[in-house]
Amino acid sequence: MKRLVLKFGGSSVGTIEKSKKVANIVKEKFSAGNEIIVVVSAMEGVTNDLKEKSNSISKNFDNKELDVLLSSGEQISCSLLSGAIINLGLKARSWLSWQIPIVTNNNHTASQIINIKTEEIINFISKKGIAIIPGFQGIAADSRVTTLGRGGSDLSAVTIAKFFQTDSCEIYTDVEGVLTADPTINAKAKKIDKISYEEMLEMASLGAKVMQPISVQASMVNEIPIHVRSVFSGKEGTIITSQNEIDYKKVVTGISYSKNDAKVSLVGVVDKPGVAADIFEPLGNNNINIDMVIQNTSSDGKKTDVTFTLKREDLSKALSLIEKNKEKLNYNKIIHDDKVAKVSIIGAGMIANPGVTHKMFRSLANEKINILAISTSEIKISVLVQENFTQQSVKVLHKEFGLD
Ligand code: ADP
Ligand code: ASP
Ligand code: MG
C-alpha cells in the first residue's frame, strides 16, 4: 500500500463535470489499494474573481481580509469534490486549513507553512477514508487565515507530501506535463519526461506557470520528486527530480517567457564609485527587486548610462524614488519602457556546451529581433525583447535548439 498526495489545480475542477471526473480518478487510485490525500485549488477563475471584488472596494484592500476572501474559493471546490467522492460510494471528508491545522507564519498573502498536524488525517486515511485538503491556505498563530501566494496549492501539495511522508506527489493539471514551452504560444511544445529541480525552478521563476516556483524550491530542498500530469489523458507526465537521475541529451531543456517586466535607463550618470549603490539602495529599501542590470563603462571617464529591469507593477514607485533622488544621482534623463518581455532558454546541458549564447543571439538577430538586455546563470540565458516579439522569439529559439 502506498500513501499518495494528489493535487488538482483550478483547471481540473473548473466545472461540476470536471470535479466528477476528478472524483473518478481519486476512486481509481484508492481502489488500487492506496491511501489518498487530495489537495484542491479553487475552481478556475474563482480566485481572480475574488481578487477583482476586493480591488473594486479598494486597491489597498486589507491583507488579512483579503486572505479570508481568497481562501473561500478552495472551501467550495473541496466540499464539492468530497461530496462527489461520497456519491461514488466511498468514505471522504474535507477539512479547512484551520481544522487540521496547517500552521503558517503571519506574512499575509505570501505565508510560509511552519507545521501541519497529521494525526487526525492519518487516522482517517488508515481507516479507508479519503482526505480532501484545501490548497493555498493556512492559519497563523493569532488564529487568522493566511494564504500562500498565487498558485500556492502546488506548495501546499509538496508540503503535505513532506509532513505526511507520502510515497509520491502528483500534480494534475490541464496539460500533459511540463512542456518545452508554454503550449498556448507555441503549439510545437513537447512534453519533457524528466526535468531536474534546478531547471524546473528556473523555468517556473522565469514564467512557466505550470508549477509555482516556491513549490519547486520546497520539493528540491526536501528531495520530494513531483509527477506533473494531465487530468484528461491519464498518461505519464513529467517527473521533476534530482539532476543525477537525468541523462542530458539536449543542451536546452525548455523555454520560458514573462511579460511582467519593465526597463528603466538612467542616461548620463556620473561614472564614479558609489553611484550604482545610490541608485539601487532606495529601491531595495522599498522592497523593489531588480532583475537585469547593464552599466557601460564611460568612454571619457565622466558619464555613463545605467539600465535595469524590474517588475512592471513596481515601475511607477521606482520612478518616483529615483526622481526624488535626482539631485544626488545627477543624471541627464530617465527613460522607461514597460512593453518589454523576458525570454529565457533553460538547460543543465548548457554547462558542458559552449556556444549556446551566440547561437541564441544569432537566431534572434536573423529574425531582426533586437536584444535590450541580457542575463545569464550556469543553466539559463535570458534576453529582454520588445513585448510584441515574445511569441516569435520563443518559436525561433524552440526550433533553433531542437525542441520542435
Ligand atoms: P492549474 O490550474 O492546474 O494549477 P495552471 O494554469 O496554474 O494550472 O498551470 C497550467 C498552465 O501552465 C498550462 O495550461 C499552460 O498554459 C501553462 N504553461 C506555461 N508554461 C508551461 C510549460 N512550460 N509547460 C506546461 N504548461 C505551461
Ligand atoms: N486558487 C489559488 C490561485 O488561483 C491557488 C492555486 O490555484 O494554486 O492562485
Ligand atoms: Mg497552478
The tens digit of pLDDT for each residue in 246-290 reads 877 889 999 999 999 999 999 999 888 888 999 999 999 999 999
Distance 164 CA to ligand 2 centre (A): 22
Walk across the sheet containing 91-94 and list its strands.
91-94, 129-134, 35-40, 3-8, 168-173, 226-230, 238-241, 194-196
pLDDT above 90 (res 317): yes
Q: What is the pLDDT of residue 163?
A: 98
Give the ranges where 325-389 is alpha helix by DSSP (H). Answer: 326-329, 356-366
CB-based contacts of 398: which residues, under 8 Å, 6+ apart? 180, 181, 186, 188, 189, 255, 404
Distance 176 CA to ligand 1 centre (A): 10
How far is CA 146 from its chain centroid?
A: 19
Burial class of residue 127 in the structure, from the number of CB atoms within 10 Å of its CB (0-12 exposed, 13-18 middle, 19+ buried): exposed
pLDDT in tens, 21-40: 999 999 999 999 999 999 99
| Ligand 2 mutation target, pool 47, 51, 133, 156, most atoms within 8 A of CB | 47
Q: What is the pLDDT of residue 318?
A: 96
Distance 278 CA to ligand 1 centre (A): 39
| Ligand 1 mutation target, pool 8, 209, 215, most atoms within 8 A of CB | 209
Distance 171 CA to ligand 3 centre (A): 9
- Tell me, what DSSP letter sits at residue 164? T
Three cell numbers, residue 351: 554547462
Closest CA to 157 of 147, 170, 144: 170
Largest Cα–Cα separation, the chain: 80
pLDDT in tens, 77-94: 999 999 999 999 999 999
Among all ligands shown, which has an atom nearest to the Cα of 158?
Answer: 2
Beta-carbon neighbours within 5 Å of ion ligand 3: 9, 151
Q: What is the pLDDT of residue 385?
A: 97
Walk across the sheet containing 373-377 and list its strands.
254-258, 340-346, 380-386, 373-377
Q: What is the pLDDT of residue 329?
A: 87
Among all ligands shown, which has an atom nearest to the Cα of 51?
Answer: 2
- Closest protein CA for atom 5 of ligand 2: 151
Index of the ligand 2 atom closest to the CA of residue 148: 5
Index of the ligand 1 atom closest to the CA of residue 176: 25
pLDDT above 80 (res 297): no
pLDDT in tens, 199-219: 999 999 999 999 999 999 999
Omega cis (within 30) before 101:
yes
Index of the ligand 1 atom closest to the CA of residue 44: 2
pLDDT above 90 (res 243): no
C-alpha 159/C-alpha 164 separation (Å) is 8
C-alpha 131/C-alpha 153 separation (Å) is 15
C-alpha 404/C-alpha 396 separation (Å) is 10
Among all ligands shown, which has an atom nearest to the Cα of 39?
Answer: 2
Categorize the per-residue pLDDT at 300 as very low, low, confident or very high, splitting at 50, 70 and 90: confident
Distance 174 CA to ligand 1 centre (A): 7
* In the chain, % of residues over pLDDT 90: 89
- Higher-scoring residue by pLDDT: 296, 273: 273
Highest-pLDDT range among 240-249, 322-331, 393-402: 393-402
- Closest protein CA for atom 7 of ligand 1: 210
pLDDT in tens, 365-378: 999 999 999 999 99
Q: What is the pLDDT of residue 218?
A: 97
Report residues whose beta carbon is within 6 angstroms of any ligand 2 atom: 9-10, 41-42, 47, 73, 135-136, 150-154
- Closest protein CA for atom 5 of ligand 1: 210
- Higher-scoring residue by pLDDT: 327, 108: 108
- Closest protein CA for atom 21 of ligand 1: 182
C-alpha 311/C-alpha 261 separation (Å) is 5
Among all ligands shown, which has an atom nearest to the Cα of 40?
Answer: 2
Q: What is the pLDDT of residue 91?
A: 98
pLDDT above 80 (res 191): yes
Q: What angle do CA 317, 323, 328 make, to 5 degrees?
A: 130
- Please tell me whether residue 33 adopts helix, strand or coil conformation: coil
pLDDT above 80 (res 298): no
The answer to whether residues 375 and 382 touch, using CB atoms and an 8 Å cutoff, is yes
How far is CA 195 from its chain centroid?
A: 16
Please state, rounded to an integer, the average pLDDT across all residues of the chain. Answer: 95
Q: What is the pLDDT of residue 353?
A: 83
pLDDT in tens, 130-186: 999 999 999 999 999 999 999 999 999 999 999 999 999 999 999 999 999 999 999
pLDDT in tens, 347-368: 998 988 888 999 999 999 999 9
Q: What is the pLDDT of residue 85?
A: 98
Among all ligands shown, which has an atom nearest to the Cα of 151?
Answer: 2
AA identity, residue 403: L
- Closest protein CA for atom 4 of ligand 2: 47
pTM recorded for the entire structure: 0.94
Evaluate: CB of 151 within 6 angstroms of ligand 1: yes
